[in-house]
């Protein structure tokens, strides 16, 4: 089990330790994030939202793809770091970052064409509330990719259950279906890969 103060930093990085945790998350989660972006396939005309961007490992790829990129994160420190690092894109109105939570995102309905989030689902207050809000901000036909370490793997690592809520990939897929998504699937780069991504399309 990771120390509680590290678990809290993983949930909401802050301060000097939070910046270090952000860099470590970028490294540790690089393969999941890269695979998630492959599944997302952002195009130059897309408006893309990343929920819980943390250390920002996906942001250069998304911004370089030519898409407009918005990011929301629970950590004000991570938001400020992104605003500083990508100040040029922000000034050019090609990127915007804000702090907030998935259950009440400050975006209009149908604001985005594509949405990704990796390793954030453990911190949602409600799986159904989260995917319902994702459906609200996605346009019809929009694509969502959710990366996670499934429940059976999380339980082996003994994360504090008052900070982390483990989810089965099948439960995420079922919640997306209930929220109005179609073509819901679970993907891994290899059958032995411990993590997975759940991919779905907002019904038209």
SS3 64: helix
Instruction: Read off the DSSP letter of residue 168.
Output: -
Residue 66, pLDDT score: 76
More confident residue, 25 or 48: 48
pLDDT in tens, 77-88: 889 999 999 999
Distance in angstroms (rounded) separating the CA atoms of residues 128 and 149: 18
Indicate whether 179 pLDDT > 50.
yes
Indicate whether 99 pLDDT > 80.
yes
Tally the C-alpha atoms within 13 A of residue 172's C-alpha that lie toward its C-beta: 31
Indicate whether 17 pLDDT > 70.
no
Indicate whether 22 pLDDT > 90.
no
Residue 1, pLDDT score: 45
Residue 97, pLDDT score: 98
pLDDT in tens, 105-132: 999 999 999 999 999 999 999 999 999 9
Q: What percent of the chain has pLDDT over 90?
A: 73
- CATH number of the domain bearing residue 143: 3.40.50.150
Indicate the number of domains in the chain. Answer: 1
pLDDT in tens, 127-152: 999 999 999 999 999 999 999 999 98
> Residue 85 in contact with residue 127, Cβ under 8 Å?
no
Q: For residue 14, give its domain range.
A: 4-202
Structure tokens at 161: 């259950």
Structure tokens at 55: 């250390």
More confident residue, 193 or 24: 193
Indicate whether 40 pLDDT > 70.
yes
What pTM did the predictor assign? 0.89
Indicate whether 98 pLDDT > 60.
yes
Residue 36, pLDDT score: 97
Query: Across the chain, which distance is largest between two alpha carbons, in Å?
Result: 45
Indicate whether 67 pLDDT > 60.
yes
* Lowest mean pLDDT segment, chosen from 18-32, 38-52, 153-167: 18-32
Indicate whether 16 pLDDT > 70.
no
Give the number of other CB atoms < 10 A from CB of residue 1: 9
């Amino acid at each position: 089990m990771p120390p509680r103060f590290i678990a809290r930093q993983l949930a909401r990085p802050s301060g000097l330790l939070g910046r270090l945790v952000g860099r470590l998350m970028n490294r540790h989660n690089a393969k999941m994030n890269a695979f998630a972006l492959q599944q997302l396939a952002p195009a130059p005309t897309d408006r893309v939202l990343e929920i819980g961007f943390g250390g920002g490992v996906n942001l250069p790829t998304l911004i370089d793809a030519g898409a407009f990129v918005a990011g929301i994160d629970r950590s004000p420190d991570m938001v400020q770091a992104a605003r500083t690092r990508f100040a040029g894109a922000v000034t050019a109105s090609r990127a915007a970052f804000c702090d907030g939570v998935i259950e009440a995102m400050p975006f209009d309905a149908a604001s985005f064409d594509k949405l990704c989030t990796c390793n954030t689902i453990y911190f949602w207050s409600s799986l159904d509330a989260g995917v319902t809000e994702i459906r609200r901000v996605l346009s019809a036909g929009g694509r969502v990719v959710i990366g996670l370490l499934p429940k059976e793997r999380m339980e082996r690592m003994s994360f504090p259950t008052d900070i982390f809520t483990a989810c089965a990939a099948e439960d995420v897929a079922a919640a997306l279906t209930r929220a109005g998504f179609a073509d819901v699937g679970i993907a891994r780069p290899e059958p032995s890969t411990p993590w997975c991504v759940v991919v779905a399309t907002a019904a038209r």
